[in-house]
């Protein structure tokens, strides 16, 4: 296959579980967590929380990522539970990133366990993209101790779909001429941006596979799903309009975090808690990179998939979570009409190094103390997990106090749009 563009999608197999297993083996343990029913997540001693990752043997018990630890233990009483070690995951991510950068200057981090590589202008030394992908896969397994799947195609969407084919430790292609054979027979729910609610609506329309979405009348999909109908029709046909990836030297343009809420939110207090949880992680990521922001954006999506956003240029610079949340709430209040919410997002941009920070006149006396407190909290969360310190407003709500990734990121750990 000779294509005008080549994109790799690198996806760590069962990332948290694999990283825990690899580290423990390097530390002298003889048992490989990947070979037994095991999972990462929750409070191991109190047996509560949610499953963040599970081994392949655990899948035989139908253990699902995101389900409660209690529910998982009912399915598999002998499940070995491991508490998450976020600092380790960041080190593993960074190590993988260093390997990937040897192959392309254009690496885009999609989540802590996923990266895209722009390979279009990379000299492959006479080798095919598949041969280079196998070299990367083998190096990560040999040098770092964990495995990845690599998908290859002409755009990010198809490369990502390809990496989800048979696992683990595999390389797959999904070029445009392979879509009908490889992608169209898959269930509609496997398509990116088709969640549970959309899948159920599609099934009521008699649509059960990606191919049936692709062949369905686009106008009817638009009538039923509005703008989202165009999105899923394009994706089902392998159409992704995103351009080429930037080089690392282009710099971080912004840092954002978003989440799809599993129920319709019509209470402003609940909506604000989700925004606070997202803001907590954006603040951590800013401070980890030594950056401050000068522009804040908030986005919301209603249950009917209508999307709205507001942004505000600030007269000061900050890396404070409290400052960010205050601005976020102001934007949200101006944006939200009370319609049921299903998705919210927080993003900061106009980034500068903290050495160039200009403090608000009113905040100046408190700035140093607040900065020290933020750093202490960040360090504790990085070492012991995001729930080690949380605001009282999250108690008994079931909402994660810090939503998204950890530490070293211009990426979300909860996957965002392509």
Q: Where are the alpha helices (DSSP H) in 27-79?
A: 56-59, 69-75
Distance CA 372, CA 392 (A): 20
Q: What are the tokens at 278?
A: 């997202």
The values of phi and psi at residue 209, to 5°, are -125, 165
From 157, 138, 158, 156, select the one nearest 148 (Cα to Cα): 138
Rounded CA separation 59/67 (Å)? 13
For tokens 């000068």, name the residue. Answer: 294
Closest listed residue to residue 226, CA positions, set 340, 308, 339, 305: 305
Catalytic-residue membership of 114? yes
CB contact at 8 A, 213 and 236: yes
Half-sphere exposure for 337 (CA within 13 Å, toward CB) = 8
> How many CB atoms neighbour CB 125 within 10 A?
7
Catalytic residue among 114, 118, 327, 409: 114
Which amino acids are annotated catalytic? 114
């Amino acid at each position: 296959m000779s294509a005008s563009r080549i994109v790799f999608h690198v996806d760590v197999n069962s990332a948290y579980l694999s990283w825990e297993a690899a580290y423990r083996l390097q530390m002298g343990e003889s048992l490989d967590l990947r070979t037994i029913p095991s999972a990462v997540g929750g409070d191991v001693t109190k047996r509560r929380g949610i499953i963040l990752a599970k081994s392949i043997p655990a899948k035989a018990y139908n253990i699902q990522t995101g389900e409660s630890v209690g529910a998982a233990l009912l399915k598999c009483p002998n499940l070995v539970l491991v508490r998450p070690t976020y600092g380790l995951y960041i080190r593993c991510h960074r190590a993988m990133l260093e390997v990937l950068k040897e192959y392309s200057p254009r690496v885009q981090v999609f989540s802590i366990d996923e990266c895209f590589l722009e390979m279009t202008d990379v000299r492959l030394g006479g080798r095919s993209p598949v041969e280079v992908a196998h070299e990367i896969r083998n190096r990560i397994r040999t040098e770092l101790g964990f495995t990845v799947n690599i998908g290859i195609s002409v755009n990010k969407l198809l490369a990502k779909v390809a990496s989800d084919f048979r696992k683990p430790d595999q390389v797959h292609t999904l070029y445009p001429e392979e879509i009908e054979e490889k992608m169209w027979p898959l269930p509609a729910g496997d398509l990116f941006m088709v969640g549970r609610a959309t899948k159920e609506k599609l099934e009521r329309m008699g649509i059960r596979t990606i191919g049936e979405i692709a062949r369905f009348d686009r106008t009817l999909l638009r009538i039923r799903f509005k703008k989202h109908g165009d999105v899923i029709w394009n994706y089902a046909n392998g159409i992704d309009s995103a351009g080429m990836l930037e080089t690392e030297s282009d710099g971080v343009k912004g840092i954002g975090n978003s989440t799809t809420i599993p129920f319709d939110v019509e209470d402003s207090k609940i909506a604000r808690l989700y925004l606070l949880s997202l803001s907590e992680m954006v603040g951590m990521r800013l401070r980890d990179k030594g950056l401050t922001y000068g522009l804040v954006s908030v986005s919301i999506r209603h249950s009917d998939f209508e999307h709205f956003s507001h942004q505000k240029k600030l007269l000061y610079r900050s890396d404070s979570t409290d400052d960010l949340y205050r601005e976020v709430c102001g934007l949200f209040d101006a944006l939200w009409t009370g319609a049921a919410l299903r998705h919210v997002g927080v993003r900061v941009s106009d980034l500068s190094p903290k050495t160039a920070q200009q403090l608000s006149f009113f905040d100046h006396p408190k700035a140093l103390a607040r900065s020290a407190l933020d750093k202490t909290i960040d360090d504790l969360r990085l070492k012991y997990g995001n729930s080690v310190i949380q605001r009282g407003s999250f108690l008994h709500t079931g909402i994660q106090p810090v939503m998204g990734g950890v530490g070293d990121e211009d990426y979300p750990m909860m996957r965002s749009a392509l």
